[in-house]
Chain A
Amino acid sequence: MNNRIKQEMYRIEIPKELNERSKMGVSKAKYEMGKPKRRWSYIIGAVIAASLTLSIFGPNYFSNNPPENPIIRTMETNTVIDIDDPREVVGFSDNVFLGKVIKKVGSKSLNDYPETQFNVEVLDSIKGELKGTIKVNQQGGYDGEYLFLMENDKLLVEGHTYLFATRYLKEENWHTVIPVGGDIPFNSDEEKKELIEKYKKAYDEEIPFKLK
């Protein structure tokens, strides 16, 4: 009986996309999970390491200014959507809007790589109803002499304007930018108009994210 059931079940053909589907499930979970909660021991360890570094390099080592010539590290992720397809980007986002980066306000990280937070003034909403100044989180940022970039997505620049596509994280009350396809810079009214048209259309034809 035992062998018979096994034998019969082994006759079920394995499709070649099986591997990919496992990855997609894990990626989606990873995306939603953020960073596991730190344990105190890790924090204490970090504090000890930080104080040692401080004593070696002296207080001037730490400054708010990023290094002039950082070593760029590109992070790759198993994205669950095609970040080059606006319809998928819009479908995956909670909010799509035009905004101006006011200033960098933090570098809290929920993952194993740096993340950077910015205050952004919402200029126009395409999807969702965001207004006023909000906190936007970008995966990537400086860590010592390194600049980590997610999928080579350039770090947001204060004073510049972008089309943002974001997902809201309630616990932190910030809006995480979808890399590359979710922060598109524009420099003129004409470009702005084009982006609004393009993304309104993408919203009309959005491909909602689902596990398929």
Chain B
Amino acid sequence: MLNLIKKAQNGNDKAFLTLFQKYEQDIFRTAFIYVKNQSDALDVVQETAYRSFKSIKNLKEPKYFKTWLIRIAISCAIDLLRKQKNVIQMRTEFEEFISRDINEDIDLEMTVRDLIERLNEDEKSVIILRFYEGLTIKEVSETLEIPLGTAKTILYRAIDKLRKDLKGDGLYEQ
């Protein structure tokens, strides 16, 4: 793997493609959560392949290759949404310290549709990196270049939102 990354950094496209294709499904799924349709998600994958190969020379820590790819995919997806003017920037630049531990073990009856429709862009990023990619919340904050406190706030808000929205649904059905 390290060898392939080195080759890719020296401009070897075959080596890069081998690496990229290991993760293309994860990239596609991540993109799908943002752009909500197959065609745009494929565009995001292609753009991610393009941007990542062009900038792989700048990847300093090969062990974070996958996280680095996912981060690029998230940017590509958000750029595409912006282009389509579908997105309203929801980022709130605040840092709120949460002293209590976040209870992540809530058994949510959520579906992929909930993920797609109920969360804003920032919440999707945090949820995907934390739970799909399995990063720690500290790694999530570093990957997204946001303060740890903000990452925690967003994570908690996202979990809360999923839970509340689902409860809402439940009440509605009654």
Contact = CB atoms under 8 A, between A and B. Distances in A.
B50 A21 contact: no
Nearest to A4: B108
Contacts of A23: 17, 49
Interface of A is mostly: helix
B46 A25 contact: yes
A56 interface: no
Contacts, number: 108
Interface in B10-59: 10-11, 13, 16-17, 20-21, 24-25, 28-29, 32-33, 38, 42-43, 45-51, 53-54, 57
A21 B45 contact: yes
Chain A interface residue count: which class? 20 to 34
Considering residues B32, B50, B104, B128, which has the most beta carbons from chain A within 10 angstroms of its beta carbon?
A: B50
A21 to B, nearest CB: 4
B103 to A, nearest CB: 9
B28 A12 contact: yes
B112 interface: yes
A1 B131 contact: yes
Interface string A18-56: 110111111111101101100000000000000000000
A54 B161 CA distance: 74
A9 B46 contact: no
A40 B156 CA distance: 52
A17 interface: yes
A189 interface: no
Considering residues B13, B32, B104, B115, which has the most beta carbons from chain A within 10 angstroms of its beta carbon?
A: B13
B43 A211 contact: yes
Given A5-B115, A8-B110, A22 B45 contact: yes
A4 B110 contact: yes
A35 B13 CA distance: 11
B38 A22 contact: no
Contacts of B38: 13, 15
Contacts of B10: 36
Contacts of A36: 10-11, 57
Closest 6 pairs between A and B when the two form their complex, measured CB to CB? A25-B49, A5-B131, A36-B11, A25-B50, A25-B46, A29-B53
18 contacts: A1-B131, A5-B127, A6-B131, A8-B110, A9-B128, A13-B38, A19-B21, A22-B49, A25-B46, A25-B50, A25-B51, A25-B53, A26-B16, A29-B51, A33-B54, A36-B11, A36-B57, A211-B50
